[in-house]
Amino acid sequence: MEYQLSIAEALYPHLKDHLTMEDILALLEKPKTAEHGDMAFPAFQLAKIFRKNPAQIASELQEKISSPLIEKTETVGPYLNFFLKRDMVGKHVITEVIEQGAHYGESDFGKNQNVPIDMSSPNIAKPMSMGHLRSTVIGNSLAKIYSKMGFHPVKINHLGDWGTQFGKLIVAYKKWGTEEEVRANPITELLRLYVKFHQEAEDDPSLEEEGRSWFKRLEDGDNEALELWEWFREESLQEFNKVYDRLGVSFDSTNGEAFYNDKMDEVVELLEEKNLLTVDQGAHIVDLEKYDLNPALIKKTDGATLYITRDLAAALFRHRTYDFTQSLYVVGQEQTNHFKQLKAVLKEMGYDWADDIQHIPFGLITQGGKKLSTRQGKVVLLEEVLDEAVAQALDQINQKNPDLPNKEQVAEQVGVGAIVFHDLKNDRLNSFDFTISELVQFEGETGPYVQYTRARAMSILRKAGALDAQPVEEFNLSDDYSWEIIKLLQEFPETVQRAYEKREPSVIAKHSLHLAQAFNKFYAHVRVLDEHEERDSRLALVHAVTEVLKEDLNLLGVNSPDEM
């Protein structure tokens, strides 16, 4: 239930000559402090219309207004403040949460609309970077948020599986590699070979030539080259899958760059037909001056296609296959220009749906001040980051709850959850540094804090023998601690909506933190399990908190262990 709506309805009869319901809803504010009530209506705007001062208008409105949901009203200067009937609102919200469970907050806003989400998209034969981790977890969370809003997301892993580097890799493998070593540690070994190639090529430039010629063989469909490439791709993907499994992320498609090899001729033909290609020093480009962008390089002098050529083919393919209403690309902000060019070329080609393409950029994460880098061959593997977080989570569990059954499994959920939550709790465009030990803490603004809070709430329910929620017959909580919780529960659906509108999982993460904080305050002041006339209402409230915290975390792609 939207209590804003009830308040607006109460105001409307007295303002309908001047304001619409939408106007009134837009004017209603949430007061900064709880003592100013639950909702405030500022009367400034009406001063001109009524030719009275706003304070006077506020107090005249106050006298006229009534609604079954409103407990009382107060005026503070130009504001009319509303206090809601806490038990009524509470009963309503808690009932909704308990009845709808995991479905609470769902809408059919995006019904029947496909939304491809290009996410993760690491480059094969290289370790997955922090940037790819970000893309994976942001994309995964957006997919869940879109789903909750009724859309049909299609998660696409646009693997970087084509390019001249594979020619070099083949050369390096044939010279210095063995099958056993690659099988044993695919990514590290392929990376070692790649790095070695560059070191050796400094003294022996003919290697570069050899690399190019192997890439040419690959492009021409040479069997040996293709087999090696397929094998490298397969081994890499298996390594990536280990990380995806731990993160609980799956894809609807792993069509990467290579998938578009046979789909680029069409792009080039279309560009030619539409007279968009110009030859500039032997290269084919699309001029984008009128968009204030550099020209898009479609084909190099030697005929090789480029990253953007593949993305053009992919955009056409996705539009045909999914007939999307939005198409998202969760890719670091350093590629902003690329996506501007992509959209501009499509626009030039006459495709209005280019406007439905959205680049979802994000900032850079570093660990201990350093970017995870592959260039020098010094790599921090993502898996090692996850392992470290899990080990530290296990330490914490050993301190707090040494007898916990299936500790290892819970530690995995907490450690991995900590990394994911941390990644999502900041506005995605922020760049930040992280230190594992900080984000695995059970206190502070961390994922484990939210998980731990929920696990405590679950343990209350267990002790009360109230794991199955009962319908709320009578709800009589009106204390301030409960009320804070009720308001946050009530705000969950609009929070999902806001996260969707801003394409911003951090909106959900912040909601989970606020709810966890409100619950901990409540828990510190209210003895839920004591025999008391409010006991049933309190248990119902606790139950609703466990449901909504679980759903918050779920939308972030973080697990909620029932005990920890």
Among 6, 123, 559, 560, binds ligand ARG (CB under 6 A): 123
* Residues 145, 138 contacting (CB under 8 angstroms): no
Q: Is there binding between residue 311 and ligand ARG (CB under 6 A)?
A: yes
Minimal distance, residue 3 CB to ligand ARG, in Å: 43
* Residues 439, 389 contacting (CB under 8 angstroms): yes
How does DSSP assign 325-357, residue by residue?
Answer: S-EEEE--GGGHHHHHHHHHHHHHTT-GGGGGE
How does DSSP assign 490-520, residue by residue?
Answer: HHHHHHHHHHHHHT-THHHHHHHHHHHHHHH
Q: Is there binding between residue 139 and ligand ARG (CB under 6 A)?
A: no
C-alpha Rg value of the chain to the nearest Å: 29
Q: Is there binding between residue 118 and ligand ARG (CB under 6 A)?
A: yes
Minimal distance, residue 244 CB to ligand ARG, in Å: 15
Q: Is there binding between residue 162 and ligand ARG (CB under 6 A)?
A: no
Minimal distance, residue 121 CB to ligand ARG, in Å: 4
Minimal distance, residue 279 CB to ligand ARG, in Å: 25
Which one of 27-35, 115-123, 211-219, 497-505 is the stretch in contact with ligand ARG (CB under 6 A)? 115-123
**Alpha-carbon torsion angle 24, 25, 26, 27, nearest 10:** 50
Minimal distance, residue 131 CB to ligand ARG, in Å: 7
Is the Cβ of residue 214 or residue 240 nearer to ligand ARG in the bound state?
240
Closest CA relative to residue 457, chosen from 549, 555, 552: 549
Is the Cβ of residue 75 or residue 123 nearer to ligand ARG in the bound state?
123
Q: Distance between CA 342 and CA 399 in Å, rounded?
A: 53
Which one of 116-124, 137-145, 409-417, 480-488 is the stretch in contact with ligand ARG (CB under 6 A)? 116-124
Minimal distance, residue 157 CB to ligand ARG, in Å: 9
Minimal distance, residue 497 CB to ligand ARG, in Å: 27
Is the Cβ of residue 359 or residue 422 nearer to ligand ARG in the bound state?
359
Q: Is there binding between residue 105 and ligand ARG (CB under 6 A)?
A: no
Q: Which of residues 433-472 bind ligand ARG (CB under 6 A)?
A: none
Is the Cβ of residue 158 or residue 319 nearer to ligand ARG in the bound state?
158
Strand partners, 81: 40, 74
Is the Cβ of residue 82 or residue 229 nearer to ligand ARG in the bound state?
229
Letters for 468-487 (x = contact with ligand ARG by CB under 6 A, - = none) are --------------------
Strand partners, 353: none
Kindly give the pairing relationship between strand 327-330 and strand 357-360: parallel
Sign of the CA dihedral running 477, 481, 485, 488: positive
Is the Cβ of residue 286 or residue 466 nearer to ligand ARG in the bound state?
286
- Maximum Cα–Cα distance across the chain: 90
Number of amino acids touching ligand ARG (CB under 6 A): 9
Q: Is there binding between residue 239 and ligand ARG (CB under 6 A)?
A: no
Which one of 118-126, 344-352, 373-381, 467-475 is the stretch in contact with ligand ARG (CB under 6 A)? 118-126
How many residues would you count in the chain? 564
As to burial, measured by CB atoms within 10 angstroms (0-12 exposed, 13-18 middle, 19+ buried), residue 111 is exposed
Q: Which amino acid is at 311?
A: D
Letters for 326-355 (x = contact with ligand ARG by CB under 6 A, - = none) are ---x-x------------------------
Minimal distance, residue 421 CB to ligand ARG, in Å: 24
Q: Distance between CA 224 and CA 302 in Å, rounded?
A: 23
Residue 430's H or E segment, with its range, is: none
Minimal distance, residue 316 CB to ligand ARG, in Å: 13
How does DSSP assign 353-400, residue by residue?
Answer: GGGGEEEE----EEETTB---STTS----HHHHHHHHHHHHHHHHHHH
Q: Distance between CA 196 and CA 201 in Å, rounded?
A: 8
Closest CA relative to residue 330, chosen from 122, 555, 108: 122
Is the Cβ of residue 44 or residue 307 nearer to ligand ARG in the bound state?
307
Minimal distance, residue 147 CB to ligand ARG, in Å: 21
Minimal distance, residue 256 CB to ligand ARG, in Å: 8
How does DSSP assign 23-73, residue by residue?
Answer: HHHHH-B--SSGGG-SEEEE-TTHHHHHTS-HHHHHHHHHHH---TTEEEE
Question: What tokens were used for 14?
Answer: 């007295």
Minimal distance, residue 314 CB to ligand ARG, in Å: 6
Among 91, 144, 158, 503, binds ligand ARG (CB under 6 A): 158
Minimal distance, residue 158 CB to ligand ARG, in Å: 4
* Residues 532, 84 contacting (CB under 8 angstroms): no
Closest CA relative to residue 88, chosen from 154, 38, 129: 38
Which one of 67-75, 117-125, 137-145, 204-212 is the stretch in contact with ligand ARG (CB under 6 A)? 117-125
Q: Is there binding between residue 121 and ligand ARG (CB under 6 A)?
A: yes
Q: Distance between CA 447 and CA 421 in Å, rounded?
A: 5
Among 54, 90, 160, 557, binds ligand ARG (CB under 6 A): 160
Is the Cβ of residue 123 or residue 396 nearer to ligand ARG in the bound state?
123
Minimal distance, residue 133 CB to ligand ARG, in Å: 12
Is the Cβ of residue 146 or residue 329 nearer to ligand ARG in the bound state?
329
CA 116 to chain centre: 14
Is the Cβ of residue 75 or residue 120 nearer to ligand ARG in the bound state?
120
Closest-approach residue to ligand ARG (CB): 160
Site residues (vs ligand ARG, CB under 6 A) = 118, 121, 123, 158, 160, 311, 314, 329, 331
